[in-house]
Amino acid sequence: MSDSADDQAVKARARAMWAAGDFPRVARDTVPQVGPALVAAAGVRTGQRVLDVAAGSGATAIPAALAGGDVVASDLTPELLAAGRSAATAAGVALEWVEADAEALPFADASFDTVLSSFGAMFAWKHQAVADELVRVTRPGGTIAMANWTPEGWVGQFFVTMAPFMPPPPPGALPPILWGLEDHVRTLFGDRVRDLTFTRQVQVMDRFADPAETVAYYRENFGPTVMAYASLADDPERRAALDAAFLDFATRSNSGPPGGKARYEMEYALVVGRRA
């Protein structure tokens, strides 16, 4: 079934958001350890057929290929796939790159040994449809593994700070950050996924000189922030309010030493289970 006009508009907006700024740079700079950690938790090994859903520019797919997996990297945003192809070439691995919607994956039932998603599938609006697709394309006994931001963590609170300045979500859309709640994930998968583990992890981000540099970096490079500022281009008062709110958040959440680099603890949930 093809998407409705409203769905198509929502997905076009999502593509534009993640293509804005420089998301591949953000992934490299802020969460370099998460992809390899997810691949290790999933137990990817030589000869496995692996799908990375909402793969972006390959921060998880490339480590999976380096671990020996036969990897397909899928994403809704073609600009990110193009960046991923270049990164894979630089890393010396070959992957298949496929433009695909996490809510309607173009793959056969039970066609992958392992299905991964690192801070990707959680941003599709229809959570149940995404969970259904992750289960559908995984073979019985195969592994589903995700890294999802938690509501309480730095990124979860970042989105709380940004929300008043961003366009409203589509009617009926669920917040992406719910994927960081164990009860929500267990409800989505139900009894179709067994031995599900939900472990909170922390990625430390300490590359910025101070909170002001943190704000400037995200304003220039992170798609959702870029789009929020762009939407306020004709409203300097609101742009100033966003600047103030963002700087206040970046200052309050900084756990670095006085006079030292800013330090942010970015909590995420590592979710691993096996298809029943």
pLDDT in tens, 118-142: 999 999 999 999 999 999 999 999 9
Angle at 143 between CA 137 and CA 145, to 5 degrees: 95
pLDDT at 2 over 80: no
Confirm whether 245 is domain-assigned: no
Confirm whether 153 is domain-assigned: yes
Q: Tell me if residue 58 falls in helix, strand or coil.
A: coil
Confirm whether 40 is domain-assigned: yes
Residue 145 to residues 53, 115, 177: CA-CA distances in angstroms?
A: 10, 6, 16
Confirm whether 163 is domain-assigned: yes
Q: What is the pTM of this model?
A: 0.95
Distance between CA atoms of residues 99 and 192, nearest Å: 26
Confirm whether 236 is domain-assigned: no
Confirm whether 201 is domain-assigned: yes
Confirm whether 41 is domain-assigned: yes
pLDDT, tens digit, for every residue of 43-52?
A: 999 999 999 9
Average confidence (pLDDT) over 106-116: 98
CATH for 114: 3.40.50.150
Average confidence (pLDDT) over 33-40: 97
Domain count within the chain = 1
Joined tokens for residue 51: 């799908």
Range of the domain at 30: 5-206+266-275
pLDDT value for 1: 44
Confirm whether 24 is domain-assigned: yes
